[in-house]
Amino acid sequence: MPYIELDYQNLIIHACILLDRTIAISRHFLQSGNLPSFTSFSKHKAFLKTNAGALAKYHGEYIYLVANGTGWFEVPLKLLRDKYLMHAAERHVAFFGWCNGDDWDLTMTTMIGEHPRQMNPLGRGKWITFSPRRLARDVESFLATFSTYAQKHIREVQREN
C-alpha cells in the first residue's frame, strides 16, 4: 500500500474539481437577479446560504440541495483539500485504518492538534475521518439529484426562449 495516501489525496482533489465543474451547469437555469459563482462550488454554496432569498422564489429546492444537502463538502472534503493538501499545513498526523462501522471502510484519519504549535497532535485535538466509499455515495446522490433538477429547469428555460 505504498501509494494509498496519494490515491486518497487525488480523490479529494478531483472530487472538488468535479463539484466545481458540476455547478457550472447551473448557469443554464439560474439566469436572473443576483447570481452565485459558477466556477467555485464553495463560493456557490456560500452565496446560496447567505442570499437564499435572491433565488428562493423559483429555486428553493435547488438552494436546499446545495446549501443544506452537502454538509460532507466542508468536512472532510474542503477542509482536507484546503488546509492539508493545497496549502502549508499545520502539524498533523494522518494514518489509515479499518473503520468499525457498517461497512468496514479503509479510512484516512487526520489528527490535528488543539493548538497550531502543539508538537504532538495525538495528545489533544480533533480527528477528521475520510472514507472514499462514503464520499462516492454522497457525491453520487448529489449528482443524481442535481442532474434531475437541472434537466427539468433547463428544459423550462429552453421552452421559454
Q: DSSP of the chain, one letter per residue?
A: -TTHHHHHHHHHHHHHHHHHHHHGGGGGT--SSS---SS-HHHHHHHHHH-HHHHHHHHHHHHIIIIIS-HHIIIIIIHIIIIIISSPPPSEEEEEEE--SSS--EEEEEEEESSTT-S-TTTSEEEEEE-HHHHHHHHHHHHHHHHHHHHHHHHHHHHH-
pTM listed for this prediction: 0.89
Type of residue numbered 155: R
What's the mean pLDDT in 77-87? 89
Say yes or no to pLDDT of 84 above 90. Answer: no
The per-residue pLDDT of the chain, averaged, comes to 90
Segment among 10-19, 90-99, 133-142 with least mean pLDDT: 90-99
Say yes or no to pLDDT of 1 above 70. Answer: no
Predicted local confidence at residue 94, as pLDDT? 85
What's the mean pLDDT in 43-51? 96
Predicted local confidence at residue 102, as pLDDT? 66
Say yes or no to pLDDT of 101 above 70. Answer: no
Contact 35, 62 (CB under 8 A): no
